[in-house]
Structure 1
């Protein structure tokens, strides 16, 4: 089995490598190729990756290359984890929206649109080259904004599934609070990527006992603190929103915070510099503890589970993925990409039936879906008017004066990445 990671020079990659090494019986990789144009980073990450495999007794071969076509040739699955423009572009995404009083964040709001515009054309080019190399290969997208990128891939006819670590993180958190194994916790997870709610927490599987009321009653303070939302709000909702919902439920509060503290991009850039220094140590043969603060917790477990299910039919029978709606949420178009529980196998994901969705969540989900449709149109066809329409439709922007100003600033900050600008 050959797997290729595009963006293999990312500081995230040792988290992935550690999972591949630990879970080699679930996903028996013979060759792992790390592709990245940044030769200096790739050398450091590739060296650590080989040491991790050796230390854990993994017999697989790790190859590093800047040649995308060679890297994906013959791959059974290709995992995308790239960042067009790097941390410098992320820093801009988190800054210029704040000048208009809007959330500055790399996947949500105006910053998320900028990332989509930079990313979609690059990902589609990569996917076309993967298809030419091996039309049977699966593409697993971890590149943000996952929902929009996965929708672009599926719309172009690629064999693609989107993956995010929010659900597996909550599953692990809830399992610890309940004192059970993570495999025994099944989430009723609904919504879009970075716009989701846990409407049930079931023991044993889709039909198991719903212990969400018990969780909220006994551990509501802990859950609320993790989300940075007030406990009474969770009690009134009766569900657990993802932490990204804080950008909607407490928008002005978040903006005030972001204006008075260093950006997350600055924190991550400093962390990445330290991680790369650590990766250069030839004695290091395990992922460092610092990596847990970089983000992407449990990413490797989710990636292994999904790849194993797609390639061998093994892994967990149900997984939270990003895939075509196809009637799962009846208030959304069939070609929308939703993030839900699905049965996953070699034929791809099949979403599980979803109970009727409260209008409180359905309304926001439909609104953001409409924005994502306009965002994808802007990413595929370009043009100032399309960018403006997407921003005007986003519930975190909404006002025409903001949309006008943000459109100009988005284009100005991203001109080098926009072929049409």
Structure 2
């Protein structure tokens, strides 16, 4: 089995490699290819990756290359984890929206649209080259904004599934609170990427007992603390929103916070410099503790599980993924990309039935779905007016004066990445 990681020079890659090494019985990789145009970073990451495999007794071969076509040739699955423009572009995404009093974040609001405009054309070019190399290869997208990028891939007919670590993070957290193994926890997870709610927490599968009321009663304070939302809100909702919902439920509070501290991009950039220095140490043969602060917790486990199921191995029967709606949520178009529990196998994901969704969540989902449709149109066809329409449609913006100003700023800060600008 050959697996290729595009964006393999990321400082996060050793976390992924560690998962591949630990879970080799689930996903028996014979060749792992790390593809990245940043040759110096790639060599540092690749060296540590080989030492991790060697220490854990994994017999697979690790190849590093800046040649995308060679890297994806014959791959059974290709994981996408790229960041067009790097942390410098992320720094901009997180700062200029604040000038209008709008949240600055890399996947939500105006910053998220900027990232989509930079990313979608690049990902579609990569996907087409993957298809030429092996039409049966699966593409697993972890590149944000996952919902928009996955929709772009599916619209072009690619064998693609979007993946996020929010659900597996909740699964692990809830399992620890309940004193059970993660495999025993099944989430009633519903929404769009980075716009999701846990409406039920079940033991022993999708038909099991719903213990969410017990979780909220006994551990509501701890869960609310992790989300940085008030406990009373969780009690009133009776569900657990993802931490991305704080950008909606406490938008102005978040903006005030972001204006008074360094950006997350600046923090990550400093962390990456430390990590790359560590990776250059030939004695290091395991992921360093600092990597846990980098983000993306449990992605390696989720990626192994998904790849194993898609490639016919022993992955979990049900997994939270990003896939076409196809009637699962009747208030959304069939070609909307939703994030729900699905049965996953070699033919791809099949979303499980979802109980009727409360209008409180359905309305916001419908609004953001409309924005994502307009955002994808802007990413594919370009033009100032399309960017403006997407920003005006976003529930965190909505006012024409803000949308106008943000459109001009988005284009000015991203001109080098926008072929039409």
Q: Report TM bin, short chain.
A: over 0.9
The aligned residue for residue 330 of structure 1 is 330
The aligned residue for residue 184 of structure 2 is 184
The aligned residue for residue 106 of structure 1 is 106
The aligned residue for residue 282 of structure 1 is 282
Answer yes or no: is 1:312 the counterpart of 2:291.
no
Answer yes or no: is 1:22 the counterpart of 2:22.
yes
Q: Output the CA distance in 2 between the equivalents of 1:126 and 1:205.
A: 37
The aligned residue for residue 301 of structure 1 is 301
Write out per-residue CA displacement over residues 180-209 of structure 1, whole angstroms, 9 at most, x where no aligned residue.
000000000000000000000000100000
Q: Report the Cα offset of residue 278 of structure 1.
A: 0.4
The aligned residue for residue 420 of structure 1 is 420
The aligned residue for residue 385 of structure 2 is 385
Q: What SS is found at the alignment partner of 2:116?
A: helix
Q: Unaligned stretches of 5+ in structure 2?
A: none
Q: What SS is found at the alignment partner of 1:331?
A: coil
Write out per-residue CA displacement over residues 46-99 of structure 1, whole angstroms, 9 at most, x where no aligned residue.
000000000000000000000000000000000000000000000000000000
Write out per-residue CA displacement over residues 308-360 of structure 1, whole angstroms, 9 at most, x where no aligned residue.
00002421100000000000110000000000000000000000000000000
Contact 2:26 2:313 in 1 (8 A): no
Contact 2:27 2:313 in 1 (8 A): no
Tell me how large the CA RMSD over aligned residues is: 0.3
Write out per-residue CA displacement over residues 339-386 of structure 1, whole angstroms, 9 at most, x where no aligned residue.
000000000000000000000000000000000000000000000000
Q: What SS is found at the alignment partner of 1:338?
A: strand
Q: Output the CA distance in 2 between the equivalents of 1:204 and 1:283.
A: 43
Q: What SS is found at the alignment partner of 1:388?
A: helix
Q: Output the CA distance in 2 between the equivalents of 1:70 and 1:312.
A: 25
The aligned residue for residue 223 of structure 2 is 223
The aligned residue for residue 119 of structure 1 is 119
The aligned residue for residue 400 of structure 2 is 400
Answer yes or no: is 1:140 the counterpart of 2:140.
yes
Matches within 5 A, 1:22-421: 22-421=22-421
Q: Output the CA distance in 1 between the equivalents of 2:379 and 2:143.
A: 15
Q: Output the CA distance in 2 between the equivalents of 1:293 and 1:215.
A: 26
Q: Output the CA distance in 1 between the equivalents of 2:243 and 2:304.
A: 24
Write out per-residue CA displacement over residues 243-267 of structure 1, whole angstroms, 9 at most, x where no aligned residue.
0000000000000000001100000
Q: What SS is found at the alignment partner of 1:43?
A: helix
Q: Output the CA distance in 1 between the equivalents of 2:68 and 2:330.
A: 39
Q: What SS is found at the alignment partner of 1:210?
A: coil
Write out per-residue CA displacement over residues 268-313 of structure 1, whole angstroms, 9 at most, x where no aligned residue.
0000000000000000000001000000000100000000000024
Q: Output the CA distance in 2 between the equivalents of 1:268 and 1:152.
A: 28
Q: Output the CA distance in 1 between the equivalents of 2:294 and 2:166.
A: 14
Q: Unaligned stretches of 5+ in structure 1?
A: none
Alignment coverage as a number of residue pairs? 421
Q: Output the CA distance in 1 between the equivalents of 2:208 and 2:313.
A: 23
Q: Output the CA distance in 1 between the equivalents of 2:316 and 2:412.
A: 45
